[in-house]
Amino acid sequence: MRKPAALIALIMGAGLLAGTPASAQGKDGCFNKAAQGTNTDEAGAKFQAFEAILQSFDWGAWASWISNKTTPGYKITTTSSRCTKGGLGVTCVTQAKICKA
């Protein structure tokens, strides 16, 4: 049985539900995260990966981003995305730098 794309993205989110320990943050208060998303097209796969990144460190930031595309308390910069076709459509691995605002 295949798992839904959203579940795969959640599972692949680095540090899911564990938060980011202070020791993993740089002196500037920033940290890096990566996640994988799968969807029928590239835009959807990138969306899934970005959602998984947000969920991996702050569900409130994720909820805010879903409702109004803001992440209060954080500045998030997508540093790279790598996408490949196959399987369920397109799979993207996205990396982001997250800094406390």
**pLDDT at res. 89:** 95
Residue identified by tokens 């796969």 is 45
Q: How far apart are CA 84 and CA 2, in angstroms?
A: 19
Q: In whole angstroms, what is the distance from residue 12 CA to residue 35 CA?
A: 5
pTM of structure: 0.72
pLDDT tens sequence across 20-55:
444 466 677 899 999 999 999 999 999 999 999 999
**Domain coverage including residue 47:** 5-100
Q: Which residue has the higher pLDDT, 76 or 17?
A: 76
Number of domains in the chain: 1
